[in-house]
Amino acid sequence: MRMIQVSTSFWGGGFSNIFDILQFIRLSLKIYFRMVLCFPLKRYFGHTETDIEPRTFIHLVRHGEAYHNLGHFNGKINPKSYDIRDPYLTFRGIEQAKSTREQMTKRCPVPNLVLTSPLIRTLETTLHIFPCNEDVSINSQPQIVAYDDLRESGAYLCNVRQTITDLANNYEHKGVDFTALSPVVPPMKSVIRTKQRAEIVRKQILVISKLIKEGGGLWKGVYIQGTGQNIGPRMQTKQDTHIVVVSHGSFMEYLLPLSHKIQPVWQRFRPAEMRTYVMDEGGHLDEIVESKRARSTTILRKVSLILTSFSD
């Protein structure tokens, strides 16, 4: 009732100054948050009696802030930042990854498989989200496989990985499998365009999903575990397949259909942000309601904070 009264005064010219308008917007946002929290939509991961087909969920995660992300101002790129070869996460980036671990625990505690770009910033993000834990009674670490085609686009030194020997020495004991990587470090300027590489990745994820559903099998020299072989609780039925892809903002945009990127609400991936999609038999991705709502809620909260700072 209160919102109706305020709205009526708005359309009737009842606002005397900008602060009244800000109060109206803040009230509207507050009501929206209550609706989201009090009347949540049915969880997407639950099967209904008529929904018995197994699904493949793809959780796309961008790496946390790394040192090459620093030094850019007012939307202008600082080329010197991109000259840092295979940079590490900043302290802020580490905290961002740990925050994503909490979100992942709620949405998908133990996925069937984690595919990660072999660059340091994505490996570190992956291991902060899924740390190696000797106590299997907590949450066992899922199978983690490094995959060259998930590396970032752009001919910069920051996108050139280390050798397999160096990667294995630093991260293999932490649970990362580097068997699928090329013995030769991919060149900075790739012959294959990013769009083509993204298409290859979609097809390979379909192959992997099929292997998982069929009980496991070899992929690029790696034995991919089948459904039920990972230890640990899951929020969904065992028929569903959950694959986490830890990659880079620019590259992951190529994984998504064009329709996603031309929407008015489209936003680029934030550092360590996770978005969840259902992949169909053709390899196309469709973002689930819960993932969309999480992002829109975050945006509206930022707007609310900005409006609050203006009105105070």
The CATH T-level fold of domain 56-288 is Rossmann fold (3.40.50)
Give the model's pLDDT for residue 71. Answer: 82
Strand ranges (E), 150-226: 176-177, 216-219, 222-225
Q: How far is CA 117 from CA 22, 104, 147, in A?
A: 44, 18, 5
Q: What is the mean pLDDT of each run of 10 residues along the chain (312 residues)?
A: 44 55 61 47 48 85 96 79 95 97 89 98 98 67 97 95 98 97 93 92 97 96 82 55 97 86 73 95 90 70 47 52
Quote the pTM value: 0.77
DSSP letter (8 states) at residue 279:
E
Question: 3-class SS at 73?
Answer: strand
Give the model's pLDDT for residue 237. Answer: 45
Contact 165, 137 (CB under 8 A): no
Give the model's pLDDT for residue 20. Answer: 62
Residue 255 CA neighbour count, 13 Å, CB half: 36
**Structural domain boundaries in the chain:** 2-39, 56-288
Give the model's pLDDT for residue 46. Answer: 53
Give the model's pLDDT for residue 307. Answer: 46
